[in-house]
Chain A
């Protein structure tokens, strides 16, 4: 059980709503404004020679979505075959992406200033995609910077500045 750290219904601008997802047991939060869609990925066509993070491409209501396997992206253990997965749809530079995660949790409204910077000892790969950490009761939630997540292969700076520009 997670407890909202803010009163529900408070529409104060200093709060952000996060869609929470679980990847390999770790809780992550994605700013709700950046989430277009939540869907169950089906019939993923793998793309040979692509980066390992790329799970493949799939058809989501007539659009071609590039699916990113978050477990690979975050260097986590691969999913057990047959295990159910979900995906979060993201729009980035006019293209559709789907972040494949384990499961989707609830939507949390959190204080904007409640976010803490990444701990300095966080794995650099994680640090590069994490916008900060929230201390929730009982667990920590890592805020995913979805646009940096899509910066696979790290054409780093140029893209990430654009990304944060979009994110802001």
Chain B
């Protein structure tokens, strides 16, 4: 017990002393700036004094002697001797030595051998040189007086003093409890430590003995402590583990509360509502309370900084002003510990690399004293720490040089980057801009280490810099690691949590909008503000969905437990025969989805999910050890509705995305689709066979559904085939005369609808859905065929649906309105894509319009100059050379066509594009595949003209 007792005592002592020393560091720097501030001096003196006293208790003569000498000198200052920078430096050196001894003590548990006479002599010399020959006497007499004098300052440094006081109390109690039995071991250790001192007879004796050189030290400690006991009793030390356990328990409580709330929410007028509300509030308070116990002011991590900056300034010959604000901002102690070092490093960096030398500053017309501003504040669930200097800022050119030199990027890549992007290089591994390695920084520990450390705790670091004006580093860290804010997303019917901290933004991708998913050799990417963002479908990454093209094979892990949330559970179930499937959904699946843009360190990527729910506070629980090998999940949690969801680890995905997956994983599918140029018109085509072996295709977006019907239900009527479909009779048409419908079984058909009318096109089999850049060669003479195109390496006939529609209905396009007109309205169609010209012209012609199609705005303008007139112009937006917007604008400049209504046609139908279209003279806006919409718009336009006329 004795040994343990002493160990505990020593540990306590070390902790306390280290804390005290940190405070002294801080105070001393302040003191140097304000030598006349007696309060500060008192504080310092008192702290050193206490260190000395405590050393005396434990029999650490070397420490004690040094502290004593320092104390003596400081006593002189209190006596009115002028404070010189040299003296301050000397005292700081002494404190450093004390720290050294302490750390050796911590490792070896005995005071290291050695002499501190060099320092003690200097200290004594200064003390004596200070003219106060009675330094010792005065010092001895001082403490008593000090106690009464410093009552006021005590309150100021209360926080720092508390731990020490507890320690003293602990010592006292320990001594009171310790009896002779402990003596043997106690003195054994003491003997090693203090070889030349006599073995103490009793703990009390031991305490008194080293106190001899400064008897008042012990005596002074006691009364002071009594006076403060009232204060110290208000706080207790609690083992961190106990707090952790409490935290976990409260987390559980929060989860249970959420669960109850969820249950009661579903019940109307539940009697549980009121008490549950109360429980909820109490739980929230409890959670907050527990969180608070773990909170510490960020200032605790800053304590050493003034000293560090001071030393740096001295070493580097710079004048530096360190301003700190927001030190009281609190954050979780665990997080605090983890950011201490990165923060220190960054401040060092600012002082060393950031700020210029005094001469440099003067030359640049800046004040000679450089500034470093350190500030902290809360923002949402995060704490933001800013380190700003008014130094030279980051030099983009230098960074470029360095980046090339270290092969982080090529010159060509750098040319394309903005300065902001270039500045980010300082966070890359193997980067340091310091021309020379100084004593202070640039010793191989660069900003990349800082970044890594900060990211480890889910934080991020960023820099903004203006050359010549300074740099500002922004660190964003979570307040706590136990509860995180997470975005709940859904992929393939299963929900996952994505830590909010790494989510940069959410983008909704739609097949025909600006934000759509494009493919480069089967690798999905998104154009986001002119940058290509690599994408990964979460479902593919997790293999929870069969890859497109591989049909209905169920996912490998699909598990058929009753009630199991299987990936196919909602929505994407493979359709049984004859059921209604939605091919459009499949097509959109490729190009659409929610993209969660994630930033993990230098990696930015997007994960594609089916839907995004809201953000929830979740309590992270580790995965069971059996599942830990699945590195893509960092943990799991229980949601409010009681279900377990997995927390996706953005780092894990980053590895997967930037690692093999993009290279190999998708290679399997690579041969299925030919590579194509994503900048051209890419059209989703439904490929099928009907009436002949050669494949045929129609634009998928024209198809409403794919169906299979029993041939027995087909009723011939009046030379046509009809089938009952959704309570109506649907006419069926053949692709051509060669087509033979099946004799029995199921007949696949493509369903086309237009408002109330439905038509079925019978086919032999549906082959595939492909995305192709269409290059249609128009072949004349073939009925119902627009032309042929190469689809997946095979010549494929592209059908003209407009041809079949009148076959099914006599009145398909015969709108009564258009029949009333004496002449056909003249429509000018401007579209660079021959496919659309060929598809839309017949459609409009069938609607009773006289259509002229041209392939560019230039051609259209030429026709204007030739004096041609049209009633309405339909123009594509995306065209080479002059796009639709420019075309519409240019029409305004010439009187001839300036009043002609112009309708925009585009494959993008995002609100932004529509808005822009409306601003640029277009009277309306129609999606390219929205045939019905186009007809509607034409009709209303024409009607409007009719009314005017």
Contact = CB atoms under 8 A, between A and B. Distances in A.
Interface of A: 41-52, 54-59, 62, 64, 66-67, 69, 78-85, 93, 95-97, 100, 150, 152-153
A52 B557 contact: yes
25 contacts: A43-B642, A46-B544, A46-B564, A46-B565, A47-B557, A47-B627, A48-B632, A49-B630, A50-B630, A52-B557, A54-B627, A55-B559, A56-B565, A57-B624, A57-B636, A59-B642, A62-B252, A64-B621, A64-B637, A64-B638, A66-B624, A66-B627, A81-B560, A97-B624, A100-B561
A64 B544 contact: no
A59 B639 CA distance: 10
B781 interface: no
B900 to A, nearest CB: 57
A81 B259 CA distance: 28
Given A46-B494, A54-B627, A64-B636, A69 B644 contact: no
B562 A84 contact: yes
B270 interface: no
B560 A78 contact: yes
Contacts of A84: 562
Interface of B: 252, 255-256, 259, 494, 542-544, 556-567, 621, 624-627, 629-630, 632-633, 636-638, 642-646
Q: Which 5 A-B pairs have the closest CB atoms?
A: A48-B542, A81-B560, A44-B564, A66-B624, A57-B644
B543 A55 contact: no
Contacts of B637: 64
A46 B259 CA distance: 21
A82 B561 CA distance: 7
Nearest to B643: A43
Q: Give the residue among A47, A58, A95 with the most B Cβ atoms within 10 A.
A: A47
A81 B544 contact: no
**Main secondary structure on chain A at its contact with chain B?**
loop
B255 A55 contact: no
Given A49-B630, A49-B632, A85 B561 contact: yes
Contact of B624 (A46, A82, A95, A153): A95
Contact of A46 (B566, B626, B642): B566
Contacts of B562: 81-85
Nearest to B641: A43
A69 B626 contact: no
Given A48-B646, A80-B560, 12 more contacts: A46-B558, A48-B557, A48-B630, A48-B632, A49-B632, A56-B564, A57-B627, A59-B643, A59-B644, A82-B562, A84-B562, A150-B626
Contacts of B565: 43-46, 56
Contacts of B494: 45-46, 48
B563 A41 contact: yes
Given A62-B256, A62-B638, A48 B563 contact: no
A95 B636 CA distance: 13
A31 B269 CA distance: 47
Nearest to B645: A45
Q: Give the residue among B542, B564, B566 with the most A Cβ atoms within 10 A.
A: B564
A64 B252 CA distance: 11
Q: Give the residue among A44, A55, A100 with the most B Cβ atoms within 10 A.
A: A44
A104 to B, nearest CB: 16
Q: Give the residue among A59, A66, A96 with the most B Cβ atoms within 10 A.
A: A59
A56 B621 contact: no
Given A62-B252, A66-B627, A48 B544 contact: yes
B559 A46 contact: yes
Nearest to A95: B624
A118 to B, nearest CB: 24
Nearest to B635: A64
B532 to A, nearest CB: 27
A111 to B, nearest CB: 33
Nearest to A67: B561
Contacts of A62: 252, 255-256, 259, 638
A44 B561 contact: yes
A58 B559 contact: no
Contacts of A57: 624, 627, 636, 644, 646
Nearest to A100: B561
Contact of B563 (A43, A78, A152): A43
A83 B629 CA distance: 30
B836 to A, nearest CB: 41
Nearest to B542: A48
A150 B626 CA distance: 8
A93 B626 CA distance: 11
A46 B567 contact: yes
Contacts of B638: 59, 62, 64
A43 B559 CA distance: 12
A65 to B, nearest CB: 8
Nearest to A84: B562
Contacts of A93: 625
A54 B630 CA distance: 12
B87 to A, nearest CB: 58
Given A54-B626, A59-B638, A41 B561 contact: yes
A48 B632 CA distance: 9
A97 B627 CA distance: 11
B563 A42 contact: yes
A80 B560 CA distance: 7
A9 B742 CA distance: 73
A129 to B, nearest CB: 14
Given A59-B642, A62-B252, A79-B560, A48 B543 contact: yes
A154 to B, nearest CB: 12
Nearest to A82: B562
B543 A49 contact: yes
A85 B562 CA distance: 7
Contacts of A150: 626
A64 B643 CA distance: 10
Q: Give the residue among A81, A82, A93 with the most B Cβ atoms within 10 A.
A: A81
B643 A50 contact: no
Contacts of A59: 638, 642-644
Contacts of B558: 46
Nearest to A52: B557
Contacts of A64: 621, 624, 636-638, 644
